[in-house]
Amino acid sequence: MDKNKVKLYVDILMFLDFLILATSGFILKLIYIAGERSGKAGVIFLFDRFAWLKIHNITSIIIILLILIHLYLNWNWIKCMLSNLINKNKNKELENEQKK
């Protein structure tokens, strides 16, 4: 499979996973507030608090793995951009030294 297609699929999966992660985080923070009544809130938004916690934990692990895959697939670009940044800084330093 083409590397660019793989990157696209990984990025789409990261976006969808982030949406689920953010949604579950907001629901846990705003609806199922932790405390003595945390397990007594019942079923809201299809699941109870413990199911939302499980969803949140699983999507957290998935997004970490997807980020690592994303970094691996884009590592050459990252190295190139860092190299260009370092070289620009060195060139600016040389220009400043030559002006003195």
Residue extents of the structural domains in the chain = 3-73
Q: At what angle do helices 75-99 and 49-73 cross, to 10 degrees?
A: 60
Q: Which residues pair with 44 in a beta bridge?
A: 47
**Mean pLDDT confidence for 37-66:** 85
Q: How far is CA 88 from CA 23, 81, 82, 94, 99, in A?
A: 41, 11, 10, 10, 17
For residue 41, the model assigns a pLDDT of 62
For residue 57, the model assigns a pLDDT of 97
- The percentage of the chain sitting over the pLDDT mark of 90, rounded to a whole number, equals 53
User: Does 91 or 65 have the greater pLDDT score?
Assistant: 65
